Amino acid sequence: MIDHAAVIARLTGCGLFRKVGGAVEGAAAIDGKTPLPDGGISAFVIPMTDTPEAPISYDPVVQTVASSFGVLCALKRAGDATGAGALDPLKTLSDGLAGVLVGWTVPGTLLPLILGPARLMDLQPGIVWWLAEFETKSCGADL
């Protein structure tokens, strides 16, 4: 599994986001239990998949695991009744997020991050939810 705390720290330090958190904070924001900052972008790191590949050896067992996580972004604009006004900055957000993560190697992983699928998740009054996935691989005898 990817060190999500390391990803959160990297996103926190990049200056692109007004709020950064993990899956629990993201769920609270989606449910409206935690307010999102107006006029900014919030990012939440969400574990996605860990897919083991065939073992490289059996004594000891050494196996590569393909892992992915998502960065769920909320673009909030007060006074935007539909959320459509937040669609315009999506390209800037997508490019900025890729610039921060693509090519960076998360501690404990084998390969640098690559970009996976990205998609619009939801439009709410004043908020656009966007999910970008990132992928890497880990390898070890103790996975």
DSSP states along 22-65: -HHHHHHHHTTSSPPPTTSEEEEEEEEEEEEPPPSEETTEEEEE
Q: What is the pLDDT of residue 100?
A: 98
List of residues 6+ apart from 33 with CB closer than 8 A: none
- Tens place of pLDDT per residue across the chain (143 aa): 899 999 999 999 999 999 999 999 999 999 989 888 887 899 999 999 999 999 988 888 889 999 999 999 998 876 666 656 666 688 888 999 999 999 999 999 999 999 999 999 988 877 889 999 999 999 865 44
Show the domain range for 118: 4-140
Instruction: Show Cβ contacts of residue 29 under 8 Å, excluding neighbours closer than 6 positions.
Output: 21, 35, 36, 42, 44, 74
Output Rg (C-alpha) for the chain, integer angstroms.
17
pLDDT of residue 121: 92
Collapsing DSSP states into helix, strand and coil, what is residue 137? Answer: strand
Domain CATH number, residue 90:
3.30.2000.10
- What is the spatial distance between Cα 62 and Cα 16, in angstroms, rounded to a whole number? 38
Q: How many domains does the chain have?
A: 1
Return the pLDDT at 53. Answer: 92
So what's the pLDDT on residue 89? 80
> 26 with 44: CB under 8 angstroms?
yes
Can you state the angle between helices 4-13 and 90-101, rounded to 10 degrees? 120
pTM: 0.89
